[in-house]
Amino acid sequence: MKNWKSVLLGVVMGASTLTLAAQDDGGVSEFGTPYHWEKGTIVVESPERPAGQESVLGLTVPKMGVVRVGFVGLGMRGPGAVERFTHIPGTQIVALCDYERSRAEACQSYLRKANFAPAAIYSGEKGYEELCKRPDIDLVYIAADWLHHFPIAKCALENGKNVAIEVPSAMNLKECWALVNLSEKTRKHCMILENCCYDWFEMNSLNMAQHGVFGEVLRVQGAYIHNLDDFWPYYWKTDANDKLGWRLRYNMNHRGDAYPTHGLGPVAQVLNIHRGDRMKTLVAMDTKSVHGKELVEKYSGEKCENFRNGDHTTTMIRTENGKVIEIQHNVMTPQPYNRLYQLTGTRGFANKYPIEGYALDASQMKDAGVQPQVDNLNSHSFLSVKDRQALETKYQHPILKKYGEMAKEVGGHGGMDFIMDARLVYCLQNGLPLDMDVYDLAEWCALAELGSISMDNNCASVAFPDFTRGHWNDVKGYRHAYATPEAEAEALRIAQEATARLKQGNEKAWAKYDKALAKAKKQQAKEK
């Protein structure tokens, strides 16, 4: 019996040794990122900060009386951004760029309607490179397809431009680190255009959380759950042979939460990520692909043997301070749109989907400075409409007070796009840190590759890189930056006067533009 026990123990120990040895060997992600195992957790090394670079926490650049903008990518999201900027005082749209020249030309209509001069037009595969070289551009606004976000941003930063990039702004860890390094090296802003951070419920809930209404927030949820069946045919295609479009092809070729920032961004701000806390480890898992394969077969007419991304992806994250984040992604199955925004605190609760509401007891309402309509409130259920309205009135976010009404008029996903753009311009005109920095960009976008590493290793725990390289605890609490009332008023005066000048005497410029455009179209017709 003793001998058998010894043999059995030897077998078990041998198997354990083999497992550990396999883990120690590590591996390489689908994007070429090497990793290794430490005590059962996968670790991706954070590179040392190159010599001469410094942290860009709280980065500011000199005040801009007029923010001169070049737009790159004018397909689905870009045109709306161009139109919104015509409503923001102190902005000048200098250049428009798209792979297809006709789409860039079409956006001139927004400038004409607003009485601005026509913008310079760039097109083709490398048109953005010439745009980025212009000395009269302060900000490059990028709304191209996902795979072009990084090369355009890289080019813009290398040419000394501030950049704002649509989501997801980087598709893998290599791109995340490159943007961090470029922002630190050039001392230029690199902002992720996460519009969901500016939605009404999220902003008011953030303000409540910062005032302690929910106590200590312990657990949060976010998601992007949006059936895209009606949209797949309209994503840009390279040519007539491209049957899938860039977005469906990306999901076919890559595993993981490819679109995490709508859900992660707002809750990360509530948890003060890299402003007193950091995402430490994650575990991710996905369902098998059913509808993804069906879509490929539908549009290509060929059998799909392998669709990398599951129909539904779930990522669990634990922070350094013991908080938990749950993020979900599903663009495949039929269900109502849902970003799953939810905050669970020690003294209260906030939930946006599918039902908006707050749960607080009467004593907590009073402590928050709001007198409830009745004293028998029960935190087991949502507040009444009246009590919720009273709470939201007291804690209406200052940014909503400033931009909310105009945002509803201008639009853009209910107005949150306009608030995002207006805040970006406000910070540049007042020389303030932006609401979202390059570390936010890297942390939120890194979920895609880190999640795929977890899934490809049987849903193993993966350590989160520290993109701040040790500075995540330097700032205590996430806060929006504001100028003094006097400075803000002066910046607005300069902006309004500049806009008035920019709208004067553009008739000749448009006549010249129209003549040149007509000539070009005539020449194209001859060549056909």
Give tens-digit pLDDT for 456-502.
999 999 999 999 999 999 999 999 999 999 999 999 999 999 999 99
Strands 34-38 and 41-43: antiparallel
User: Residue 7's pLDDT band (boundaries 50, 70, 90)?
Assistant: very low
CATH number at residue 374: 3.30.360.10
Burial class, 37, CB count within 10 angstroms (exposed 0-12 / middle 13-18 / buried 19+):
buried
Q: Say if residue 24's pLDDT is above 70.
A: no
What φ, ψ does residue 103 adopt, rounded to 5°? Answer: -70, -35
Q: Say if residue 172's pLDDT is above 80.
A: yes
State the distance between the two ends of the chain, measured CA to CA, in whole angstroms. 90
Which pLDDT value is given to residue 142? 98
CB of 147 closer than 8 Å to CB of 118: no
User: Residue 20's pLDDT band (boundaries 50, 70, 90)?
Assistant: very low
User: Residue 12's pLDDT band (boundaries 50, 70, 90)?
Assistant: very low
What Rg do the C-alpha atoms of the chain give, in angstroms?
25
CB of 411 closer than 8 Å to CB of 385: no
In a domain, 63, yes or no: no
User: Residue 16's pLDDT band (boundaries 50, 70, 90)?
Assistant: very low
How do residues 129-170 score in pLDDT, each as one tens digit?
Answer: 999 999 999 999 999 999 999 999 999 999 999 999 999 999
Q: How many other CB atoms are found less than 10 A from the CB of residue 266?
A: 25
Which pLDDT value is given to residue 526? 84
Among 97-111, 210-224, 362-376, which is the least confidently predicted range?
362-376
Three-state SS annotation for 287-306: CCCCHHHHHHHHHHCCCCCC
Rounded to the nearest 10 degrees, the angle between the axes of helix 146-158 and helix 246-253 is 100
Burial class, 469, CB count within 10 angstroms (exposed 0-12 / middle 13-18 / buried 19+):
middle
Residue 432 to residue 414: CA distance in whole angstroms: 26
Give the mean model confidence (pLDDT) for residues 373-401.
92
CB of 281 closer than 8 Å to CB of 463: yes
CB of 93 closer than 8 Å to CB of 66: no
Give the mean model confidence (pLDDT) for residues 405-431.
97
Residue with tokens 């490809």: 456
User: Residue 231's pLDDT band (boundaries 50, 70, 90)?
Assistant: very high
Which pLDDT value is given to residue 11? 40
pTM of the model: 0.94
Q: Say if residue 18's pLDDT is above 70.
A: no
In a domain, 513, yes or no: no
Q: Which amino acid is at 470?
A: G
Strands 279-286 and 461-463: antiparallel
Residue 222 to residue 263: CA distance in whole angstroms: 4
Helix (H) or strand (E) holding 68: strand 67-72
How do residues 310-344 score in pLDDT, each as one tens digit?
Answer: 999 999 999 999 999 999 999 999 999 999 999 99
In a domain, 364, yes or no: yes
Q: Which amino acid is at 20?
A: L
Which pLDDT value is given to residue 9? 41
* Average pLDDT value for the chain: 94
The closest alpha carbon to 462, from 19, 33, 38, belongs to 38
In a domain, 521, yes or no: no
What φ, ψ does residue 126 adopt, rounded to 5°? Answer: -115, 20
Q: Say if residue 422's pLDDT is above 80.
A: yes
CA of residue 144 relative to chain centroid, distance: 14
Residue 273 to residue 319: CA distance in whole angstroms: 9
How do residues 262-321 score in pLDDT, each as one tens digit?
Answer: 999 999 999 999 999 999 999 999 999 999 999 999 999 999 999 999 999 999 999 999
In a domain, 239, yes or no: yes
Which pLDDT value is given to residue 25? 76
Helix (H) or strand (E) holding 286: strand 279-286
CB of 140 closer than 8 Å to CB of 132: yes
In a domain, 522, yes or no: no
The closest alpha carbon to 89, from 379, 452, 406, 477, belongs to 406
User: Residue 504's pLDDT band (boundaries 50, 70, 90)?
Assistant: very high
Residue 447 to residue 453: CA distance in whole angstroms: 10
Range(s) of the domain holding residue 411: 197-415+433-463
What tokens does 209 get? 């959380």
Q: Say if residue 378's pLDDT is above 90.
A: no
Which pLDDT value is given to residue 379? 83
In a domain, 12, yes or no: no
**Cα–Cα distances in Å, from 137 out to 156, 179, 491, 503?**
10, 19, 19, 18
Rounded to the nearest 10 degrees, the angle between the axes of helix 398-410 and helix 200-210 is 180
How do residues 160-170 score in pLDDT, each as one tens digit?
Answer: 999 999 999 99
Q: Say if residue 217's pLDDT is above 90.
A: yes
Side by side, which strands form the sheet with 313-319? 27-28, 34-38, 41-43, 461-463, 279-286, 313-319, 324-330, 217-225, 342-345, 349-351, 357-359
DSSP-derived letter for residue 118 is P
Q: Say if residue 528's pLDDT is above 90.
A: no
Which pLDDT value is given to residue 244? 97
Determine if residue 350 is left, alpha or beta; phi over 0 gives left, psi from -120 to 50 gives alpha, anything else beta: beta
Number of H helices, E strands in the chain: 19, 17
Q: Say if residue 410's pLDDT is above 90.
A: yes
What is the domain count for the chain?
Answer: 1
The closest alpha carbon to 151, from 136, 131, 121, belongs to 131
In a domain, 245, yes or no: yes
What tokens does 217 get? 């927030």
Burial class, 34, CB count within 10 angstroms (exposed 0-12 / middle 13-18 / buried 19+):
exposed
Q: Say if residue 1's pLDDT is above 50.
A: no
Residue with tokens 């410029």: 509
